[in-house]
Chains A and B, each alone.
Chain A
Amino acid sequence: MNKTDFLKFLSAFEISTAKIERILQEMGDTYTFERFVNSEAIEKILDNDFSKIAKRANDKFMEDYSNYLLNKNVKLVTCENENFPKKLLQIENHPFYLFYLGDLNLLNQKCVAIVGTRSPSSYGITVTERFSGEIAEAGGVIVSGLAYGVDSIAHRKALAVGGKTIAVLAGGFDHIYPQEHFSLFKEIAQKGLVISEHRPDVIALKYHFPQRNRIVAGISDALLITEAGKKSGTTITKDFALDYGVPIYAVPGNINSVKSEGTNSLIATMQGICALNTSDIINDLGLSVKKRASVQLSLQEHEILKALKNGDLTIDQICDKTKLNINSLNSLLTTLEIKGIIKRLPGGFYSLD
């Protein structure tokens, strides 16, 4: 038995990384079940769980476990494997194995984590979509946690522009949280990558989420916070990123908005770089901005775009500014939306995409 198989064996039991590290030390370089079962030191480390685990320390169990993962179509990569992300190995308390679905190679590309509040304002939605879309178009991989709000918006936008994205889950793949994002999870597993350090049947517990955030920060080359309040899970990700030396970008917001307090204070305390446009981040990563193909527009469509340049407007306001009648405006806005030039925000606002 080699180290990879041994780690695979351990991955079946939800053992904390700290304990795994100590077990590996005890095992030395010879990995056999016999040694594992007979080691008193390991018995001490695992305490009550030991008997349960020792009982299963045999080849039969390993075969069953392999079949179980195979049936679920879930793959496992351990830190011994060369595909295991190098960035992740450098962090303290790093996971020894990852369960994954999708294309593991994405981890070795330029990854940008985009995180933020779970209930973004329309401003937060706009900037998240803009940054996520443009970075993904430039070839960056968008990393996030499949949560409500900024997370899912970032994932969706990356997929929408045909880019790549990685979702890091707090629990196992059988229990997607939040459930509403199941279809998104499926799509990412198909077109991108989903990773978790937990067995598929594990339901995410409260303490799993901060642990997940260390992986988000650990696999990323940059962290972008688009909108975050003062107290938020984003703070944890940010702290990890600070520890790991991952550059942090924060999008400035309205100083009166509670939802931008977190990002604004990041900039004020110089912990984060003020992200004013996507090209800075893209250049810092060593990628290059992709030029968009220009689209033919009618005179009226130009009028509408001109009106929207100064900020988001409702249809009534556009109606006032362009003096177009409501019938044609309705259809012009839809066509522009289909062309992907403007987009509709909740609350009836339109903004440039």
Chain B
Amino acid sequence: MLSKIYSYGLLGIDGFIVDVEVDISNGLPHFEVVGLADTAVKESKERVRAAIKNSAFDYPIKKITVNLAPADVKKVGPLYDLAIAVAIMTANPNNDIKGLTPKAAREFVIVGELSLTGKVNKIKGLLPILISAQKAGFKKFIIPHENSKEASYIANVQCFPVKTLEEAVMFISGNAEVPQVPVEKFISEVVDEKNALDFKYVKGQQRAKRALEIAAAGGHNVLMIGPPGSGKSMLAKCFPTILPNMTFEEALEVTKIHSVAGELDNKKGIVSTRPFRSPHHTATVVSLTGGGLHAKPGEISLAHNGVLYLDEMPEYPRACLEILRQPLEDGKITVARNAQTVTYPANFTLIASMNPCPCGNYGSKDRECKCSPSMIHKYLSRISGPILDRIDIHVEVDNVTFDDLRTSIQEESSLEIKKRVDNARKIQLDRFKNSKNYSNAKMSVPATKKYCVLDEECEQLLKNAFSRLKLTARAHDRILKVARTIADLENEENILPQHIAEAIAYRSLDRKYL
């Protein structure tokens, strides 16, 4: 007998329909899976057989052929287990469950991994599957119970979470009821409890805080330069607390990526805070970009709509830093592997930190720097010009003194800063209403010309700054963009000289450093 039911596969962060066809015929007992299945799918025959048997159903001792169509796309992972098992049971000529027909099963898109006991295990990437399937017109889904939170944020679909194969079969045949996953409303959380940080706990560091405020307001990338122990990491970790809340669309995009990577918290089901990713400097190119056998999303995609923090930036391998160029420019990364080419979104704010020299004490008043000039030069030149080009704000972070730590002065809290940031973002949303771009940092060259108009006084100031401070040409547009953001923060329509002057203060690496 033949049975054909629907399941869904994943390509990058998009789903595609997979027809699971099962044919059971007389002949020597045999089980074959065809249709470009990878090892995890091939192995499903063992899981399926054991799961059916251990759920006390009849397993046909016949020749079983499973085809996963379309047959020319690689199928990856164990998410077809449940669909294959249901298909086999519906195709079984000895099937004695009332109502269990291929037609009944075809009502649903079925995804789930099986354990040998018949339990349905959670899968990776349910959210992108639901979103794609919903767009393709599918309405009813049978999903693993552990994934139900993740499914609860998609409206206009009916998801039925099952715990076991038996439950799934009984539900499909109409012999049992399974409650539908209730639709939940998305509430954006600002701070993750895990890193409950706040700028009010950061003592001193006024300039760095101000720089991060500007960065949050305009979507600028930041490089912090300072000696070890000056609080660069702390500042970076606080940065997400002043970023604007994620919209539902943004959250869904982020959740899609995290779901595919298997990094989703199943209790929450959605990523509701802006992600903060800090890959270690031993990270490989693949772990950053994504890729590998199954072209999984990498750290920079996991940081989508959030923050990518690179601590000790010059310590990263050159290749790792260079691959950041495409995502910093286009907000996405294309990973080409021999099996498939996938484009993942990677629109993040880059926060990087570095020491001023290999030992970290260059320029310090009380600690001696032991680095030779050529060592310092080498260290700094590990960050190439093109990368530096894409970082708008360079800020020096000073050493923290004991007095700073013990002071009782109340620092501004993240919430207060966030209010100003939100306001500046609103101005930008209005400004870029009719374009794809939505932040000052991503302004194109013509847009920069249009929105960063300077009066005579500003021109003169900028000109003097270039000759006097020996700024490089690449600083020019960066200064304009940052000045635009500063003006937005102060609610000024035009860029004023003080905005330009402040923006110039954030170009320290463009100057002659040694």
- A contacts, CB < 8 Å to B: 118-119, 121-122, 148-149, 152, 156, 178, 180, 257-259, 312, 314-316, 319, 326-328, 330-335, 337-338, 340, 344-349
Contact B505–A119 (Cβ < 8 Å): no
Task: Give CA–CA (A265, B263) in the complex, Å.
Answer: 63
Task: Give CA–CA (A121, B369) in the complex, Å.
Answer: 8
Cβ of B377 within 8 Å of any chain A Cβ, yes or no, is yes
- B contacts, CB < 8 Å to A: 204-207, 209-210, 226-227, 356, 362-365, 368-369, 371-374, 377, 396-398, 404, 461, 464-465, 468-469, 486, 490, 497-502, 504-505, 508, 512-514
Contact A149–B398 (Cβ < 8 Å): no
Complex contacts, A328 vs chain B, CB 8 Å: 498
Extra pairs beyond A148-B372, A334-B465, A346-B356 (10, CB < 8 Å): A122-B363, A148-B374, A326-B207, A337-B468, A344-B508, A346-B362, A347-B356, A348-B207, A348-B396, A349-B363
Contact A148–B206 (Cβ < 8 Å): no
Complex contacts, A319 vs chain B, CB 8 Å: 206
Which of B396, B502, B505 touches A347 (beta carbons < 8 Å)? B396
Task: Give CA–CA (A178, B375) in the complex, Å.
Answer: 12
Q: How far is the CB of B510 from chain A (nearest CB, A)?
A: 12
Contact B363–A326 (Cβ < 8 Å): no
Given known A314-B398, A327-B210, A337-B469, contact A348–B363 (CB-CB < 8 A): yes
Contact B365–A331 (Cβ < 8 Å): no
Contact B210–A316 (Cβ < 8 Å): no
Nearest-CB residue, chain B, relative to A325: B206
Nearest-CB residue, chain A, relative to B372: A119
Which of B368, B398, B498, B514 touches A121 (beta carbons < 8 Å)? B368
Complex contacts, B227 vs chain A, CB 8 Å: 347
Complex contacts, A180 vs chain B, CB 8 Å: 374, 377, 514
Given known A315-B398, A344-B508, contact A326–B368 (CB-CB < 8 A): no
Which of A119, A148, A178, A330 touches B207 (beta carbons < 8 Å)? A330
Q: How far is the CB of A248 from chain B (nearest CB, A)?
A: 25
Q: How far is the CB of A132 from chain B (nearest CB, A)?
A: 15
Contact A331–B374 (Cβ < 8 Å): no
A–B pairs, 7, beta carbons within 8 Å: A118-B373, A315-B206, A327-B498, A327-B502, A331-B499, A340-B468, A347-B362
Nearest-CB residue, chain B, relative to A153: B514
Task: Give CA–CA (A37, B206) in the complex, Å.
Answer: 76
Q: How far is the CB of A180 from chain B (nearest CB, A)?
A: 6
Q: How far is the CB of A320 from chain B (nearest CB, A)?
A: 9
Complex contacts, A259 vs chain B, CB 8 Å: 368
Which of B364, B372, B501 touches A331 (beta carbons < 8 Å)? B501
Complex contacts, B513 vs chain A, CB 8 Å: 346
